Structure 1
């Protein structure tokens, strides 16, 4: 099918794609809050009505974490994945919204509601692409999996983990994640290293004549040490990985009332990593700061560092698949896009740790992502739909 033919086909399906997305948006699926069964049941009914092979994914505890669609080609080749989450961020202050978070209405060219941008509308697009490919499966090399994740916004990425651990699933050669944003194809992202730091001190009465450096005061000194720590500058705007590492103390907790100098204070530290400053470097920096604190203000129990998560950074070359196919497809349907390395981490980092290349964003223009009045602009839907369709056909050797 020609590029014009793909755009025309996508335009024909716009009403169907939008209707499926509206049905999904009207069912709340907030991560860690709502039952995911109803929103997945909508997808299952849609897929079942078109005889598309699909099955539910569960994690090690048996919890429902996703839905997997698999279209096997008639010729040997590699498998590729379209991935979109159908769980969402929380609603926040619902009184601040100018429409219901579960609206699903179309107003002024926008599809309204939580998940319209991230990522129920992309999920609807990917289901339609799967249906079109099913009709010509005999011509495909390898296969296409559509992963519909309902454990993404928790940060657990349970759907992706369950898919990769599933012995029945073919390990993919690459993944295209349907995060929104139309000007860039995200081909990389900073990694992260996160830790919980526990600072100790002898407890005592705040009114005591004896000088006591409590855990909160020691923690405050540690925060200053971390804030003052030197991170490598990186080639910002230059050649190589374009972003610098970043350290943020994101939480501090300790003490109660007024009369007690506490014996414990806990800190959360988030470090965004790069190829030149990885998780090992991040941990070394934090442990060095903790050692400096303990040397300057010694206490019987040393400061403890507990690693919570560590994901590697990733960056695909523009000529590396699946980035090359998606960049070329977007340009072929008339969109001006550029490759981008994102600051936040995402499922692409998890996949990078598994040696699986991924793009982590290309989709519709949006407003209010994860915030108030989330909405996605629909005028560009046929072009985005056609770009993904073209990219998949190229990867499966059927373009």
Structure 2
């Protein structure tokens, strides 16, 4: 038997700040091997990843879990009420970096899977994919695992990502999709000059401000059947100009768009370039644009998988969870091309914060939900 609370505490004690492995995957490999799982490290370009399977490779009924053991930096250690890597349990609360996002989720699905295969071995396979690169660039984490699985004939029929999904109460929300994310960086290049003689210069700051206003004024859409409206935010404007009497030669701006299924990264990239081109023509200022799409919008339509998870959540919490696509990106954006995927996990109120923490009772409750999901899936 694996105690998900104790395993969470042990994982929190692993200093696995991206990209460090910190001993977290070594711990899980040992625990899962002891539980009868075949474990394989799938490290790529220095990024640590773990694949674990119980049952037959490529089985037609294969339930997968996905999660990560890497965490964000702790910030000011002196501001914490407990050692961020202590895994301390006090008054029914487990403290530490990763306690919520998402070492508790990993511990819960490891405990649930190990209990199932030991007590009621299923006719099928249970697959666990755990990465050490979700909080970083995510270029060699879950993507590396999926690439390896494709090459080796490994597969998941469906997948549940254990990210925190509940805003305030345990059991209130399942994620069935996510909005896409695109970051655009603009560099306006003008002609430097003295502010007293603006006719001899070409001001890139004015061009960037005009472009930012133009972009923010655009209503991208009004939302779709399962998604909120897309939103665009100007996150930075910078000239690096310390002088108040000099028109600078260049100005830079950064914009991020979270977009729904009415758009694509390529389509938005083209629109951003067109808008930058129009401002360049109007102002005579050169405009360079680079875009980076970290994920496309995706949706697993409501159906058998989300119904299965919702029934288990309702049985253990008494709440009927809503199906949502809110929030930021997750590794589900990679898995959606492999198999149907949804996300369900803990209340995420303290993730990435000083004094990140989780109620011990929630960890046990989450493990029970995951166990119920597995039991019904293989029934």
For the criterion TM > 0.5, the same-fold answer is yes
Q: Which moved more, 1:325-334 or 1:80-89?
A: 325-334
CA gap 1:209/1:256 in 2 versus in 1, 3 angstroms: closer
Q: Indicate conservation of the 8 Å contact 1:367/1:376, yes or no.
A: no
TM-score of the pair, normalised by structure 2:
0.89
Q: Indicate conservation of the 8 Å contact 1:89/1:370, yes or no.
A: yes
- 1:25 paired with 2:8, answer no
Within a 5 Å distance, the mapping from 1:35-50 to structure 2 comes to 35-50=20-35
Give the superposition deviation at 1:209: 6.3
Selected match of 2:55 from 42, 52, 72: 72
| Distance in 2 between residues matched to 1:67 and 1:329, nearest whole Å | 27
Q: Indicate conservation of the 8 Å contact 2:62/2:157, yes or no.
A: yes
Selected match of 1:52 from 26, 34, 37: 37
TM-score of the pair, normalised by structure 1:
0.84
Give the superposition deviation at 1:191: 1.2
Q: Indicate conservation of the 8 Å contact 2:105/2:366, yes or no.
A: no
Q: Deviations over 1:165-190 (max 9, x none)?
A: 00125132322111123211111221
- 1:186 paired with 2:164, answer no
Within a 5 Å distance, the mapping from 1:123-142 to structure 2 comes to 123-135=106-118, 139-141=122-124
Q: Deviations over 1:344-398 (max 9, x none)?
A: 222122333x2532112x2233542111111111223333212112212333x2x
Which stretches in structure 2 are left out of the alignment for 5+ residues?
none
| Distance in 1 between residues matched to 2:341 and 2:258, nearest whole Å | 19
SS at match of 1:303: strand
Q: Indicate conservation of the 8 Å contact 2:69/2:131, yes or no.
A: yes
Selected match of 1:90 from 73, 76, 80: 73
Q: Indicate conservation of the 8 Å contact 1:79/1:170, yes or no.
A: no
Give the superposition deviation at 1:106: 1.1
SS at match of 2:175: strand
Counterpart in the other structure of 2:146: 164
CA gap 1:127/1:150 in 2 versus in 1, 3 angstroms: same
Q: How many residues are paired up? A: 370
Q: Indicate conservation of the 8 Å contact 1:104/1:113, yes or no.
A: yes
Which stretches in structure 1 are left out of the alignment for 5+ residues?
1-11
Q: Indicate conservation of the 8 Å contact 2:5/2:363, yes or no.
A: no
Give the superposition deviation at 1:136: 6.3
Q: Indicate conservation of the 8 Å contact 1:198/1:266, yes or no.
A: yes
- 1:230 paired with 2:219, answer yes
| Distance in 2 between residues matched to 1:83 and 1:304, nearest whole Å | 38
Give the superposition deviation at 1:65: 2.8
CA gap 1:335/1:147 in 2 versus in 1, 3 angstroms: farther
| Distance in 1 between residues matched to 2:59 and 2:181, nearest whole Å | 37
| Distance in 1 between residues matched to 2:28 and 2:195, nearest whole Å | 59
| Distance in 2 between residues matched to 1:377 and 1:366, nearest whole Å | 11
SS at match of 2:61: strand
